[in-house]
Amino acid sequence: CVQLLLLPIHVLACLGLWGSFYKKVFPYVVAKVAPTYNRKVCKQKQELFGNLRKFAGPSGQLMLLEIGTGTGPNFQFYPPGCRLTRTDPNPNFRKFLLKSPSENRHLKLERLVVASGEDLHQIPDGTVDVAVCTLVLCSVANVKKVLAEVLRVLRVVSWGSARETGDADLVEWVAADHSSWTYFWQKVCDPIWKYFGDGCSLTRETQKELEKTDFSELNLRCIHVTPYWIPTSPHIIGYAVK
C-alpha cells in the first residue's frame, strides 16, 4: 500500500525530477525540525561534545570537522575557540550556514566544503582532531567509504612512547531489534522516509559497520528519543578513536 501511494514520487524520481526538487526543499525542512530534535537530545549532546577539548592537538587548538553539517544544529555544543570545517553534499544549505558566523561567535568557522562524506579529498590526511557525524550515516551511499575517510583525516601523533589520536563522535538513528514492532514500522515507513529524508534509511545497522572499521576504541550506547513509538526513536550515540 505504501509503495502504491508513493508511485507518483517514484515516477518523478525515475525521471530525475524528485531529487533536484527536494534537495532545494530539504534544508527548509531541516531548519524547521532541527530545533525540536535538539531539545530532545540536548543532554546527550552536551555530554558527548563536552569532552572534545581533550582531543586538541599539540598546539592546543581543536581542529574539528563536521560531516553533513546541514543547518548547523550542533554548533552550539562545540567548545569555544575550536576551528570548524563544515562539509555537506547539498549546496542548498549554504544560505543557512552563511548566518552561522553571527550566531556562533564562539567558533572559528573555517571552510565550507560541498562534498559527500565518501570523498573528502579537499581535507588533507591527519589534519583533524575530531570528526562529527550526526544523523548522517543513515543517508550516505556507502558507510564503509565514509568511515575510511574519517580514519584518513583524523590525526595520529606519536611523541616517544605517547600516542595522541583523533576522535569521531556520532549520533545516529538505527534499526530497532528485528523482533520488535518498532522494526516492523521502520520497514513499513522506510520507502517514504528515503524520499522525504533525502535518502535516509530507518533500517540501517550502522553499529555493525562501525564495529568492522579499524578503530582502536569504540564506545557506543543505545538510547531512545521520545516519543518512543516513532520509527526514528532508536539511536546509537558515542565515539570512536583512531
Average the pLDDT over 39-60 and give the result: 90
31: amino acid identity, one letter: A
With 90 as the cut, is the pLDDT of residue 104 above it?
Answer: no
- One of 3.40.630.10, 3.40.640.10, 3.40.50.150, 3.90.950.20 is the CATH number of 1-241, namely 3.40.50.150
The grid coordinates listed for 202 are 530507518
Least confident of 55-59, 84-88, 159-163: 159-163
Q: Which residues contact 16 (CB under 8 A, 6 or more apart)?
A: none
Average the pLDDT over 13-26 and give the result: 91
Distance CA 170, CA 235 (A): 10
- State how far the alpha carbon of 106 is from the alpha carbons of 53, 76, 109, 220, in Å: 14, 9, 9, 28
% residues pLDDT > 70 (the chain): 95
With 70 as the cut, is the pLDDT of residue 122 above it?
Answer: yes
With 90 as the cut, is the pLDDT of residue 30 above it?
Answer: yes
Distance CA 85, CA 159 (A): 26
Per the prediction, the chain carries an average pLDDT of: 90
Q: What is the pLDDT of residues 182-222, one digit of tens each?
A: 999 999 999 999 999 999 999 999 999 999 999 999 999 99
With 90 as the cut, is the pLDDT of residue 46 above it?
Answer: yes
With 90 as the cut, is the pLDDT of residue 123 above it?
Answer: yes
Please answer whether residues 64 and 83 qualify as being in contact, where contact means their C-beta atoms are separated by less than 8 angstroms. Answer: yes
In which residue are the cell numbers 524520481 written?
A: 13
Instruction: Give the pTM.
Output: 0.91
With 60 as the cut, is the pLDDT of residue 164 above it?
Answer: no
User: What pLDDT sits at residue 163?
Assistant: 45
User: What pLDDT sits at residue 161?
Assistant: 42
Instruction: Report the alpha-carbon angle 187-188-190, nearest 5.
Output: 65
Nearest residue to 84 (alpha-carbon basis) of 27, 132, 141, 137:
132
User: What pLDDT sits at residue 160?
Assistant: 45
